[in-house]
A and B are shown apart, each in its own frame.
Chain A
Amino acid sequence: MPPTASVATLVARARAEAADWDRAGELPDSVVAEAARAGLLGVGVPAPHGGSGGTPAELGEVCAHLGGACSALRALVTVQDMVTAAVLRWGTPAQRARWLPPLARGERRAAFAATERGAGTELSAVTASVTEHGEEIEISGHKRWVTFGRTADTFLVLGTADGRPAAVLVEGDRPGVRREPVEGQLGLRAAAVAHVALDRVRVPRDHLLAPVGLGLSHVVATALDHGRFTVAWGCVGMAEAVLDAAAEHAARRTQAGAVLAEHEVVRALLGRCAVDTAAARELCARAAHARAERLPEAVADTVVAKYAAARAAVRVTGGAVQTLGAAGCAPDSLVGRFFRDAKVMELIEGSAHVAELHIADRLLRRHGFNSAAHVARREARA
């Protein structure tokens, strides 16, 4: 586990400065270096591979702490964890030995490049091409919305090799990698997001992660599963932080002699927000337990946790802005920033819609109903 004291120092700094980072559209280098020194970029990586070998619950707690101060800083941990998890899970021993220690120590900085203009929710539609040229692989395509795409030096790229999904590790300094910064988006503004174009980028064959065909169902699925877990915990941290801010404000702010908390509607709102927040934490804890035990339902429990936590973050940040009024809309407001960030959490790593469908499908399958097979059968009959 990373030493708690250095995490606390970093979180304190983030609390004080995150509004500036949000405006600047990036994290200062010194913050990233501090996160690396604190071991935050390798919490989930076992010690023999250079990480601190934390449990899922410990990783989650780190993300809740960071998420309660700065979503972009939490996202830094998320993308690093997504890529290291994919390498740990599906890499060969040689690939693990080569990529994991520098990533876990933060000497290399990872990003996850799957989304394209025509492939967001439906990643099987990616068109980035992966072709073999002797001992090399060539990749061409246009990846969009890559978190920390401006600063990363190690991209996990999803492409297609003649219709079969392929995941490839691509260094940022390879000729043909071009980054176009995304600025001023709704949320996660300090996360150095970029669109990343790959123009006939060549890498050695050994940069292919898992055999061709498994790039989406296993490699990217593993990365997204990890992403959901840390995003979920980050949302718990956001909800807890703004719930605190809202309660504090409601208990202090007076107008015409009346404290806000005297109004029943204000108290009822706080009550709902408190329940959403606590429920999100419990579902995240359940997912952490399933992951620690490596239970088959860990993936599904993580979808539930991420869905619930993102929804809680949206509702509670909305409730907090409502309670704070103009103070919540002020340029430097933490609740205002989290209100913007929270909505993004309902879109990334599997949108809320898609999560609901997965959760319902899983439920219905236990009752012998498979929606995909059902539709296929009905269409065949028609």
Chain B
Amino acid sequence: MATAAEDVLAFLTRALGSPVGPDDDYFADGRANSLFALELVAFVEHRFRLTVEAEDLDVGNFRTAANILAFVTAKTGDRSPGAVTDAANG
């Protein structure tokens, strides 16, 4: 079973066409195209069963893989990253 981090990095690498490290800012380095931002939101919502609101996007939550994982952990409250993985696969 893939971990949350592995899934996020795998999605990003596939969507951006090149390896993505946990702290790469893919919006700044020019790899993102005009559809990517929405696809990323849809991926996070689908993978982690949550709803992303506009305020969630404001503070760079989606700029790096590490930020995404921190955001997901915060958003899902007391569920640990392990629980996050289980929720998505269960």
Instruction: Give me the interface of A with B, judged by CB distance under 8 Å.
Output: 90-92, 209-211, 213-214, 216-218, 221-222, 225, 294-300, 303, 358, 361, 364-370, 372-373, 376
CB of B62, distance to nearest CB on chain A (Å)? 10
CB of B26, distance to nearest CB on chain A (Å)? 10
By a CB distance below 8 angstroms, the chain B residues around A294 are 42, 45-46
- State how many residues of chain B have any CB contact under 8 Å with chain A: 26
CB of A212, distance to nearest CB on chain B (Å)? 9
Chain B, residues 50-64, CB within 8 Å of chain A (1/0): the string is 000111011000000
Q: Pick out which of these stretches binds chain A: B32-40, B65-73, B74-82.
A: B32-40
Whether the pair A222, B38 counts as a contact (CB closer than 8 A) is: yes
Whether the pair A368, B18 counts as a contact (CB closer than 8 A) is: yes
How far apart are the CA atoms of A361 and B18 in the complex, in Å?
Answer: 12
State the main secondary structure of chain B at its contact with A.
helix
Q: A295-B42, A367-B17 are in contact. List 9 more A-B contacts (CB 8 A).
A: A90-B53, A210-B54, A211-B55, A211-B58, A221-B37, A225-B38, A294-B42, A300-B39, A361-B17
Whether the pair A211, B16 counts as a contact (CB closer than 8 A) is: no
How far apart are the CA atoms of A366 and B17 in the complex, in Å?
Answer: 6
How far apart are the CA atoms of A369 and B57 in the complex, in Å?
Answer: 27
Instruction: Give me the interface of B with A, judged by CB distance under 8 Å.
Output: 11, 14-18, 29-31, 33-35, 37-39, 41-43, 45-47, 53-55, 57-58
How far apart are the CA atoms of A165 and B57 in the complex, in Å?
Answer: 14
Which 4 A-B pairs have CB atoms at the shortest separation, nearest pair first? A365-B17, A370-B17, A217-B37, A296-B43
Count of A-B residue pairs with CB < 8 Å: 79
Whether the pair B30, A373 counts as a contact (CB closer than 8 A) is: yes
How far apart are the CA atoms of A367 and B55 in the complex, in Å?
Answer: 34
CB of A235, distance to nearest CB on chain B (Å)? 20
How far apart are the CA atoms of A297 and B46 in the complex, in Å?
Answer: 10
How far apart are the CA atoms of A295 and B11 in the complex, in Å?
Answer: 13
By a CB distance below 8 angstroms, the chain B residues around A210 are 54, 57
By a CB distance below 8 angstroms, the chain B residues around A92 are 54-55
Whether the pair B37, A218 counts as a contact (CB closer than 8 A) is: yes
Whether the pair A218, B18 counts as a contact (CB closer than 8 A) is: no
Whether the pair A358, B33 counts as a contact (CB closer than 8 A) is: yes
How far apart are the CA atoms of A213 and B59 in the complex, in Å?
Answer: 11
